Structure 1
């Protein structure tokens, strides 16, 4: 089954005919005749999409949407309204009320199936970004109160300058967004920064294939893949609308250019884009936070260990050497006890900054314990590792730390254990993860050696086989 579709219609023959159409496309179909019991039904069947008659015995399509809005888990279900005839006024009213699309009887199977695929695909992409537990507000995934408050950048991609000029003039009074004109035979300016938030593609000409190719190309390019794509097709070409949706258009104007309808669809698509952009940013921030130490901004153990395993595996393939260091601040507990945890935190933050400033871009540094830092340096031999470790030690002990709440600067030193890991001679039975863990254990023993020898120094050992 491709998904579940809920059909709402007071006329049983309409429901039966629609069920036949959708079942032939392997959708699971659930039926009802109106609003009565709708919320409970939707909660049970969890539809991926709703197809409703514009008028129901006890309400209309807009009332269906209002019912869905009562449940957070149902409010993003796409809704297609079906009218008895092609009524532009009813279509605009429905679109303004948040209905995703309006189709007229008799339903063209080609455009119906393409529209369903497009809406379910869009919803699935958004659902993948939504957390599946009950803590969206805590994690920062809750919907914003208002979306796309700033004017958006909208590109009109037409077959000629005259068409673009007419579209801009008719749209200008209906939208607050910034309109740009581009011709299909020259889209270099379209790809320049800033990339448009929405792109309207003209398919009304005698040769729409160029526009269809551009739709697929725009959807595939990383720069424009998240832009809202809206195609404008002539009323007499439903196959063209279906093709545009399957090529990647998020929305279509099936009856040619209508400035009022385009304005409504732009508002809807830009709202969705703003929500998706926010969710993607939240996911990126969440992933970044998952591998970063919140205090110092360095990587944490969750990132560091797989990274070290990857370096070890690559070194085994290339025969190169690499260094693993564990740096631990000396007598750090005494700093906390004498000056307070706020001063201790300041020392950790400054230590992270100083250590990082002495490393190469390819080196990795992570905070893996309270006052312990792991450093991994690829393509580094014993001599280079020794020089770097000595420099790191001096970077900490050479200059006192200025801490909040202390009248005198705080003197801090560090001890560093170093192991240089040429893969030659290592146990071939060890996986990269196991070898990385063994290297950290050896660096830890080297660190204890530095502590036992008086602290504020470097201790280096070779990697054991």
Structure 2
């Protein structure tokens, strides 16, 4: 079963014909002829798509988007309207009301099936994005203000960049002029298909692309649709295809090639304006949710104060470094660095000054490391540093440079009336396969349990740090390989 479709139509014969048509494509079909009770039915059935006629015995189906929108569980369900033959005005009214598509009777079966597939895909994408960004309830309670209802109205960008891709300059000029009158709030540009450097080459990609398709055998528009969705620079932009002349076959193929929407009846500036705004709202919402998801993932592994990784990220990453060393027969180093007498800074100057010192200390430590090295704040004023493919003499030399980076220049912070001199103590433990007579180190993964071996290595670094503290601070101590 491909999904569930709810048919909303007051004419029984129309419902039956649609049911036969959709059932043959392995959709589960539910029918109703009235708006009354529609919310209860939709909540019960949870359809993947609603197909409706505009005129119903008990009201106007254009109310349907407004009825569903307040409920986050229902708002992501796409709605496809069927309007009368060649009824352009009704089609535009349906789109203005918030319906996702409006097709004129008689509906070509191939186009209908392609549009259904595309709309269901968009509905699934919205639901998956909502699940990915929804706050996790705590004991059944979701903090108010955190939930982001699905398909909540998001205005399109006030100054979106829309690029028209045409085969001929005269067509491009005609489309650009007509669309600019409908979408004066957007920046309308045009390019000829075949000259894509301006589309793919610039740093700022377009927000939406409108692609002209023709029935010519040498037309490259269909191939371009797949290319747009495959490239990283254009994967997330809104893509609308316009078959010229309008043919159901070309429109259906465009949808299956990756277009988010089509103008099945050919170029119409008013319809294109409405569909552009709808797709730009979708893009704006998707972009916002992706950004939220990225920020939440970053927050889960990043220390909010210093911007370094936290323990949650550091421990699995350290295990990867150790595993790679064991597989490649190389060595690695683990360091624990702790700022000396840090409590005195908080006691003398206050926690805001202490926080500023921590942030600057983290910056200095990070700047002294190579891009592939790991540094994480483990808590308080303690940092974990891991150096992949590192020999003992390299680890000792880098640890001394880290000490110098902290001590060499006094720290200045708002709230402290004098520069603050601070030092750091570092304990170093070596793992993996180390060469050299003065530093024989057993492979970290010789233990049966790799996690236990890594835990012992960190404990060795911690003991070396403790020894450095007891020995006067502001120094590096290398753990003895036999320590356990």
- In the aligned structure 2, how far is the partner of 1:139 from the partner of 1:422? 47
Deviation at 1:67, TM superposition (A): 0.8
Deviation at 1:339, TM superposition (A): 2.6
Aligned to 1:66: 66
Deviation at 1:82, TM superposition (A): 0.9
1:320 aligns with 2:338: no
1:191 aligns with 2:218: no
1:445 aligns with 2:463: yes
- In the aligned structure 2, how far is the partner of 1:106 from the partner of 1:463? 81
**Per the alignment, in what secondary structure is the counterpart of residue 229 of structure 1?**
strand
- In the aligned structure 1, how far is the partner of 2:356 from the partner of 2:9? 66
Relative to the length of structure 1, the TM-score reads: 0.93
Deviation at 1:411, TM superposition (A): 3.2
**Per the alignment, in what secondary structure is the counterpart of residue 303 of structure 1?**
helix
Aligned to 2:139: none
**Per the alignment, in what secondary structure is the counterpart of residue 34 of structure 1?**
coil
- In the aligned structure 2, how far is the partner of 1:139 from the partner of 1:399? 47
Aligned to 1:421: 431
1:380 aligns with 2:390: yes
Aligned to 1:159: 167
Deviation at 1:236, TM superposition (A): 5.3
**Per the alignment, in what secondary structure is the counterpart of residue 157 of structure 1?**
strand
Deviation at 1:271, TM superposition (A): 1.4
**Deviation per residue, 1:285-315 (Å, 9 max, x gap):** 2111211100011111111111111111222
Residue 439 of structure 1 contacts residue 463 of structure 1 at CA under 8 Å; is this kept in 2?
no
* TM alignment of 1:239-254, pairs within 5 A: 239-254=249-264
Cα pair distance change 1:124/1:142, threshold 3 Å? closer
Aligned to 1:93: 93
Deviation at 1:331, TM superposition (A): 2.8
1:347 aligns with 2:365: no
Residue 141 of structure 1 contacts residue 279 of structure 1 at CA under 8 Å; is this kept in 2?
no
Aligned to 1:172: 180
* TM alignment of 1:178-257, pairs within 5 A: 178-193=187-202, 194-207=204-217, 209-234=219-244, 237-257=247-267
Deviation at 1:330, TM superposition (A): 2.2
Cα pair distance change 1:332/1:144, threshold 3 Å? farther
Deviation at 1:118, TM superposition (A): 0.6
Cα pair distance change 1:257/1:182, threshold 3 Å? same
Aligned to 1:278: 288
- In the aligned structure 2, how far is the partner of 1:269 from the partner of 1:164? 21
1:33 aligns with 2:33: yes
Gaps of 5+ in 1: none
Residue 327 of structure 1 contacts residue 374 of structure 1 at CA under 8 Å; is this kept in 2?
yes
Residue 326 of structure 2 contacts residue 445 of structure 2 at CA under 8 Å; is this kept in 1?
no
**Per the alignment, in what secondary structure is the counterpart of residue 173 of structure 1?**
helix
1:455 aligns with 2:473: yes
Cα pair distance change 1:49/1:433, threshold 3 Å? farther
Deviation at 1:59, TM superposition (A): 1.5
- In the aligned structure 2, how far is the partner of 1:408 from the partner of 1:249? 63
* TM alignment of 1:106-145, pairs within 5 A: 106-130=106-130, 131-133=133-135, 134=142, 137-138=145-146
- Two-structure CA RMSD over aligned residues (Å): 2.3
Aligned to 1:338: 348
Relative to the length of structure 2, the TM-score reads: 0.90
In the alignment of these two chains, the number of paired residues is: 465
1:402 aligns with 2:412: yes
